[in-house]
Amino acid sequence: MLFSGAMTALVTPFKNNALDEEAYRNFIEFQITEGIHGLVPCGTTGESATLSHEEHERVIEICIDQAKGRVPVLAGAGSNNTIEAIRLTRFAQKAGATGALLITPYYNKPTQEGLFQHYKAIAEAVDMPLVPYNVPGRTGCNLLPETLARLTKMFSHIVGVKEATGDMAQGSKTLSSSPANFSVLSGDDFTALPLMAMGGKGVISVTSNLVPGRMAAMCNAFNKGDVAESARIHHELFPLHEAMFFESNPIPAKTALHLMGKMEAEMRLPLCPMGEPAKEKLVAVLRQLKLI
């Protein structure tokens, strides 16, 4: 299976408002050394909304080059403009990404038929593995299990979904209507273990930016049948899952990584530095888990 286990939704390090390539390469190496199962550049956590097209492409290129085939790279390539999504997905394929992660079109609020036609157009234009990303809390639309099932019946290279509704009933419906060898991946760290218990294959994680080894260990334990150990790690990390959303993602993650000495705490507007009350709470969690 192409995409399974713990995959990190990578933050994008900046320095003086430019991509910090050295910090980014070092960060990718840290992820792989710690045992992460896959890398996801240019998603929400990577501040893709504020990257120029040139930066977006460069972030993907660096990730592929640094990974050197050691783990899969699922490149963020979605857009609320179908033509642009096709262009970005074609770039990801040409650059050598393992697959493309495709956000549902945000802001436009398409109907289910519009969502079907959007993904159909991309799947007809590009023959690489594709993974729709469903996060209604950010996009204003919900890719329903019935619509996803229509797509997977038509296109075998739609190989998974990032399910970030937080709705376990919808997750169950998605799993029950999915074809064999289809990867239903949690898009929320706190639902990763429950979704795997129902048949999910892993998580595209924010928390693993900080603790890739621990998130990978949780998935490894579950896959070996050690549910008790997987649950222990889940509960151990739950305060960190919550801390990653003390403010809008990726503000807490990038702040924590700065405190851990991994990169600058620089974000692009409209994201801004973490407020002191939330930062104090974050520091307490990081100290509790001995990360700083």
Q: Which residue, 12, 74, 80, is CA-closest to 46?
A: 12
- Cα–Cα distance for residue pair 74/126, rounded to 1 Å: 15
Residue from 119, 133, 254, 279 carrying the catalytic annotation: 133
Upper half-sphere CA count for residue 113 (Cβ side, 13 Å)? 0
Six token digits for residue 149 = 């099932």
Cis peptide before 250 (omega within 30 of 0): yes
**Extended strands (E) in the chain:** 5-9, 14-15, 18-19, 38-40, 74-76, 99-103, 130-134, 160-163, 183-186, 202-205
DSSP string, 182-229: -EEEESSGGGHHHHHHTT--EEEESGGGT-HHHHHHHHHHHHTT-HHH
**CA dist., res. 36 & res. 66, Å (int):** 14
Cβ-based burial of 145 (10 A; exposed 0-12, middle 13-18, buried ≥19): buried
Does 162 qualify as catalytic in the annotation?
Answer: yes
152 is an annotated ligand-binding site residue: no
**Cα diameter, the chain:** 50
Q: Which of 162, 201, 254, 279 is catalytic?
A: 162
* 207 labelled ligand-binding: no
Alpha carbon 234 to chain centroid distance?
18
- Cβ atoms of 187 and 163 closer than 8 Å: yes
Q: How far apart are CA 289 and CA 280, in angstroms?
A: 15
Which residues belong to the active site? Answer: 133, 162
Binding residues for pyruvate, by number, are 45, 204
Binding residues, by number, are 45, 204
